[in-house]
A and B are shown apart, each in its own frame.
Chain A
């Protein structure tokens, strides 16, 4: 009895190790690409590098798997991971060599001196404790139960299982949603290859990790925006523990959380670049996240489009001295978007997959108007996002006229544009009058989740206003 229990424990530990090594492979690939994209990786904090690397690795790995399928090569762990990893490290070695020859090795690049260590305050520990409790709950909630939520069973998990079993992107036995982008299913199937089986409860552990990386990134962006550690931790905890939508997405294996992660990275990096608070190479670094948006979910390309449009309008409105050069530089994320959008579209076209005809067929203006109360209710209902959206509205109010004279206009335009886009999405949704209520209720929280981390950045800006007023008053 004790022997079989011991064997079972060893088996569990080995399975967990395989899972962690699989995730480690994604981080490693992502870090190699990250170090390739930025001139000086040392400008980034460890937490920042980790959070950004995973997304880049996930995009690179899954796009590579798409190409494997295109070339008719069967998926395997070695074939999925080794070639992109080898190519990335080879390119990194070449970059280092070129830099050395040109007399500009990375170690000699000017980097900001490390700030003196600040002792943790009581509130820091309170916020860290709250986040730790959340992730302890979310991790166990994810891995104890097998995949169970609707879209996880119907789409993402279903495809992942199929890709693993068929060792290819075989969509012949799926009729519904087979045109959806495949970053999440391919990443899950890669984890199944690491585990050597379809272990859908352990693979769900990917999602709390993705949530943690999103929060790590949010914290890092808030720090770069000028908030101190306590404030940044406070806003991060305020975002994570407000309402149920973010928390439930930590354990239901939907693609909406990864999409929110990619959206935050893309918006955050462009925003820091507009603020002149970004490290060197921020736009090049943003490019894979634009690719991730397009490759993660059907709503990704419109989200990426609104980011670019908001950045363009902000530049035109604010007219910084070098606005024309900056405008041209926005071409870099556009290239990223194309890199994430085109391969799957071409693959689908060559495979004769019908693309999304069930989403957009006509315009129903009455649905646009009908969806407005739903949207307003979702923004203020504490069940969805707690106090986050009202707090963001107050933060914008604090900005006053300063909003129109600062790059803060960019996230505000992005959020406003996307709220409008949500209404437009409902106006083109081909649902019957009887189903409309159910359709909106089933989707509104997810559509808002995609942009809510960016709303937390606006709350952070509001926090800066409060602090500045406090300093002036004192």
Chain B
């Protein structure tokens, strides 16, 4: 075997060596996952039990008990937070409409009327949103005593004029 003729073979061995290092890195990278999986299997905390550990999931369960399955709700949240997609997933088949929490009250009222939404859910109820303040002051909204992090209003959308500039 001549070295000059067999440089491709040497290259193959070089790539194989680098791949071996890659395998070690992959094992290190996924080791925490394996550890968590082993702990969950040993403690029988798998599948649905994992969801029970999430306070947001528990809150959506209370929402599901309040909002009837055929009703529409407006969910006031930032899309980037990734929580509204979870809420939509858990609250199916209720119709879900997302609005940003910074939406002006006029637009929120317009959307509630247009979508015939019977509920308004504000995930970050502890923050100061102009829409939340407007809802709290309007007679068309009833704040429900739902325990959890957010605010839930029952809405009588027919009482809202729903004009964009009202």
Contact = CB atoms under 8 A, between A and B. Distances in A.
A130 interface: yes
Interface residues of B, number: 39
Given A144-B46, A387-B18, A474-B1, A247 B26 contact: yes
Nearest to B84: A154
Contacts of A166: 93
Interface string A161-174: 11001100010111
Contacts, number: 101
Interface in B18-53: 18-19, 22-23, 25-26, 29-30, 33-34, 37, 40-41, 46-48, 50-51
Nearest to A140: B37
Interface residues of A, number: 46
Contact of B89 (A157, A172, A175, A243): A157
Nearest to A390: B15
Contacts of A242: 19, 22
Interface string B63-99: 0000000000000000000100110110011111110
Contact of B2 (A147, A158, A173, A473): A473
A251 to B, nearest CB: 9
Interface stretch (A25-33, A220-228, A339-347, A463-471): A463-471
A394 B16 CA distance: 14
A437 B51 CA distance: 32
Contact of A165 (B9, B48, B93, B96): B93
B8 interface: yes
Q: Which 6 A-B pairs have the closest CB atoms?
A: A154-B85, A173-B95, A201-B47, A144-B46, A473-B5, A466-B8
B47 A144 contact: yes
A242 B26 CA distance: 8
Contact of B85 (A141, A153, A199): A153
Given A398-B8, A469-B8, A473-B1, A173 B92 contact: yes
Contacts of B82: 150
A391 interface: yes
Given A137-B34, A387-B15, A145 B92 contact: no
Given A173-B92, A387-B15, A473-B1, A382 B22 contact: yes
Contacts of A140: 37, 41
B144 interface: no
B19 A387 contact: yes
Contact of A201 (B8, B19, B48, B93): B48
A109 B29 CA distance: 51
A466 B12 contact: yes
B128 interface: no
Contacts of B86: 153
Given A158-B88, A161-B89, A244-B26, A465 B19 contact: no
A4 to B, nearest CB: 12
Q: With a 10 A CB-CB cut-off, give which of A143, A173, A247 has the most chain B CB atoms.
A: A173
Contacts of A412: none
Interface string A225-243: 0000000000000100111
A147 B85 CA distance: 12
Contacts of B33: 137, 141
Q: With a 10 A CB-CB cut-off, give which of B23, B25, B92 has the most chain A CB atoms.
A: B92
A430 interface: no
A146 B47 contact: yes
A5 to B, nearest CB: 9
A241 B97 contact: no
B19 A386 contact: yes
A456 interface: no
A460 B141 CA distance: 65
Contacts of A172: 95
A144 B15 contact: no
23 contacts: A137-B33, A140-B37, A140-B41, A141-B33, A141-B37, A144-B40, A144-B41, A144-B47, A154-B85, A154-B88, A157-B89, A158-B92, A161-B92, A165-B92, A170-B93, A173-B95, A201-B46, A201-B47, A387-B18, A463-B12, A465-B8, A473-B1, A473-B5
